[in-house]
A = this chain, B = another copy of it.
Amino acid sequence: MTRLLYPPTTMHLVPARVGDAIDEIDTPALLLDLDAFEKNLQKMADFTALRNIRLRPHAKTHRCPAIALQQVAMGASGVCCQTVGEAEVLVHSGIADILVTNQLLDNRKLIRLAALAKTARIALCFDSYEQIAHASRAACELAVEMCGLVEIDVGMGRGGVTPNEAPGLATAIVRAPGLRFSGIQAYQGRAQHLPLHVDRERAIAQAANHVRATKFALQRAGLGCGTVSGGGTGTFRMETQSGQWTELQCGSYIFMDGEYSAVKDEKDLPYTEFQQSLFVLATVVSATRPGGAVLNAGLKSYSTEKGLPTIYDRNDIQFVSASDEHGTLAISPETRLLPGMRLKIVPSHCDPTVNLHDTFVCIRNDRVEALWPIAARGASH
Where the two chains meet, the residues of A that have a C-beta atom closer than 8 Å to any C-beta of B are 1-13, 15, 26-29, 60, 65-66, 69-70, 72-74, 82-83, 85, 88-89, 92-94, 102-106, 108-109, 127-128, 130-131, 153, 157-161, 189, 283, 285-288, 292, 294, 296-297, 299-301, 303-305, 322-326, 328, 339-340, 349, 351-352, 355-358, 373-381
Contact = CB atoms under 8 A, between A and B. Distances in A.
Given A339-B131, A340-B130, A323 B89 contact: no
A44 to B, nearest CB: 15
Contacts of A340: 105-106, 130
B339 A358 contact: no
B28 A328 contact: no
A129 B299 CA distance: 28
B85 A11 contact: yes
A379 B11 CA distance: 7
Contact of A93 (B8, B27, B157, B373): B8
Contacts of A283: 105-106
Tally of this chain's copies: 2
Nearest to A27: B381
A92 B358 CA distance: 21
A210 to B, nearest CB: 14
A305 B340 CA distance: 28
Given A11-B379, A26-B108, A303-B299, A102 B325 contact: yes
21 contacts: A3-B73, A4-B93, A4-B94, A8-B93, A8-B375, A13-B378, A13-B379, A27-B106, A60-B324, A83-B325, A105-B339, A153-B288, A157-B292, A158-B328, A300-B355, A301-B380, A303-B305, A305-B322, A324-B352, A358-B378, A377-B378
A322 B305 CA distance: 10
Given A340-B105, A355-B356, A380 B300 contact: yes
A69 B26 contact: no
Interface centre among A1, A8, A374, A379 (most CB of B within 10 A): A8
Nearest to A373: B9
